[in-house]
Amino acid sequence: MKHVMKGLIFVLAFFLINQAALAVELGEIPPKVELKEKLGGRLDGKPWSSEELRGKVYVLFYVDPDEKDTNNDASEALDREKFSSDQVQSVGIINMAASWLPNFAISSALKDKQKRYPTTIYVRDYKKVLVNAWKIADDSSNVLAFDKNGKLIFRKDGKLTAEEIQTLIKLIRNHL
């Protein structure tokens, strides 16, 4: 029985190490993902590609609808900074598959959010594409920031602390 347990622990550890190794790392450009058709896309139905995360500093919120308020403090802090839309762009990608809420209800809430944050690009991910491709935490609220070349400069899976929000803002300023 000890040998079986040791074997299971070894396999689990190997799996976790490999999964961690596949996660998007700071300083890297993540693998290209496209959200279109059955996979998702923008609120207006047009496709979205991660290749769009270039030319400006991008702050990407990848959110489970059930965790939609988790990082409101970060959203509001960024809004207060009044960064130029020529230099900084926010993207909100909703992990539609992470919620029991019907898609039409989530989409309706997104349209309301679009009115509050008109310069933010809102995107739906119906099949957890980013969870799988970038190893982002599922059923969570994630914040990622990218420099003008598309390299990851900040990542937090879960709720940002006040200090982490200030770090994010400082990194954005440093990459303008």
28-72 residue pLDDT tens: 999 999 999 999 999 989 999 999 999 999 999 999 999 999 999
- CB count in 10 Å sphere of residue 147: 21
Kindly report the backbone phi and psi dihedral angles of residue 152, in degrees, each rounded to the nearest multiple of 5, phi listed first.
-70, 125
Contact indicator for 33, 126 with CB cutoff of 8 Å: no
- CB count in 10 Å sphere of residue 154: 22
CATH number of the domain enclosing 87: 3.40.30.10
Higher pLDDT, 112 or 15: 112
- What per-residue confidence (pLDDT) applies to 102? 87
Q: Is residue 32 part of a domain?
A: yes
Query: Distance between CA 23 and CA 140 in Å, rounded?
Result: 16
Kindly report the backbone phi and psi dihedral angles of residue 119, in degrees, each rounded to the nearest multiple of 5, phi listed first.
-90, -10
pLDDT band at 19 (very low <50, low <70, confident <90, very high): very low
Cα–Cα distances in angstroms (integers) from residue 158 to residues 73, 145, 155, 175, in the given order? 12, 14, 10, 23
Q: Is residue 6 part of a domain?
A: no
The answer to whether residue 2 scores a pLDDT higher than 70 is: no
Q: Is residue 49 part of a domain?
A: yes
Higher pLDDT, 136 or 6: 136
Q: Is residue 5 part of a domain?
A: no
Model-level pTM? 0.85
Domain limits for position 63 = 26-174
Q: Is residue 15 part of a domain?
A: no
Q: Is residue 8 part of a domain?
A: no
Q: Over the stretch 114-163, which tens digit does the pLDDT of each residue have?
A: 888 888 999 999 999 999 999 999 999 999 999 999 999 999 999 999 99
- What per-residue confidence (pLDDT) applies to 15? 45
Q: Lowest mean pLDDT of 14-23, 75-84, 102-111, 122-131, name the range.
A: 14-23
Number of domains in the chain: 1
Q: Is residue 86 part of a domain?
A: yes
Beta bridge partners of 88: 57
Q: Is residue 127 part of a domain?
A: yes
Contact indicator for 59, 164 with CB cutoff of 8 Å: no
